[in-house]
Structure 1
Amino acid sequence: MQVGECVSAVWGQEKFNGAPDSLGVVACTPQSDAVDGQVLELDAATSLDDAKENGESRCEGLLGETVGGMGDARSYALVPSEQGWDSNVHNTACLVFNKTAPLHGPVGTYRTTGDDYQLTTGAVGDCIDTKEQGDTVSGFLADCSADHNEEVVGFVKAPAGIKYGDWDEAQKLCSNKFGSVQAKGPAEDLSSWMDTEFRYVMCTLYRSDGKKIEGSA
């Protein structure tokens, strides 16, 4: 496997326990139902035993920053099989998956400015441009060096009783967790984003006076 490749995975009885029953490389297309995970690093092993014993912990370290910034992500170490090792595959592939939902697209720097924004691949520090389309507001990945509408400050796991569309409850979750440390200025406020299959509410900072947040450049 190569760094940057996206994969579709079929698991057995327990997800992430051992190797997937089936794993295939798919196109890294945003909003794709086929994209379950993505290869972000390759970790060279000195032996097959080294890969089996240390691959998981080394992948956790290599992907720690990426995983820590996302709402529901985890790392996964795909260790070479004995046949693969004998065929000169000596790297453990370090992949990122969401625990409960597919990624539905690439993560981090593999995304493109202007793409439809996805909570499943979103991360703290992302910048978003918004556009009103009828009664809905759509988000697009923005360049943080340019003026933008919102910035992602964190995620909150939604309690079981909250369902998609419970915006008042989602807003409370964001305000309770991030309001005192994020929305400090007189024109700053917090907003909440939800997705039908994603059990985390994404919390963003925006300007309540209608102006854009100044870029970092």
Structure 2
Amino acid sequence: MNFTAIDFETANSSRSSACSLGLVQVREGVITAEHVWLIDPRQRFDGMNIAIHGITPSMVQGQPTFTELWPLLEPLLQGEIVVAHNAAFDMSVLRYCLDASGTSYPNFQYMCTYLLGKKMLQELPSHKLNVISQHFGIRLKHHDALDDARAAAIILLKLMEQQQQFEPLLLADSQGYRAGTMYSGGYTPFKSPPKKAAKKPGKKRVPLLPAAPFEQRF
């Protein structure tokens, strides 16, 4: 039951504009370490993004860029099972930041608590992080990177407990999902395997009867 949960916040609509990262490590089902960083994206901040997470340009002045921070981050992700809520977003931020810095991708598998929650908690009206957190009684300051990463970690633990599954990848498999991967040559998404199309019943061929012999009538 070991994994690492992450959450990125961005300065603007560009996925390469990471301005904060929260990271929570879980070992044997227990949170053992928490980290949070402010990141200088060297990009503009949009008012809409500031309104969401509260991070301003002045707050990231003097903070490391993603490229400067990466040597510290890489060993925390390499070979891990990485978890995020709406992982498609967080994994794309990671990829865009790595692409912008000309750095090769690490190798790990990843899971999405949003998609798992959508499948396993169908009674909820929404599967946003704050809604699932409220469902499980998780205290959350939404869009704070560390709080969001911690909430994703606890949600996965709750879902595993609910299904009596004690390995993250086995939980994903039990719900019909295949783990996403990131590797030096690219990535694959966390998704359900495509359903095999049902074979259409073929038309039965009716064997031709041999032609009746020609009878000449007089």
Q: TM-score, normalised by structure 1?
A: 0.26
Whichever of the two has the greater Rg, that structure is 2
Higher RCO (CA 8 Å, separation ≥ 6 residues): 2
Per residue, is there more helix in 1 or in 2? 2
Q: TM-score, normalised by structure 2?
A: 0.26
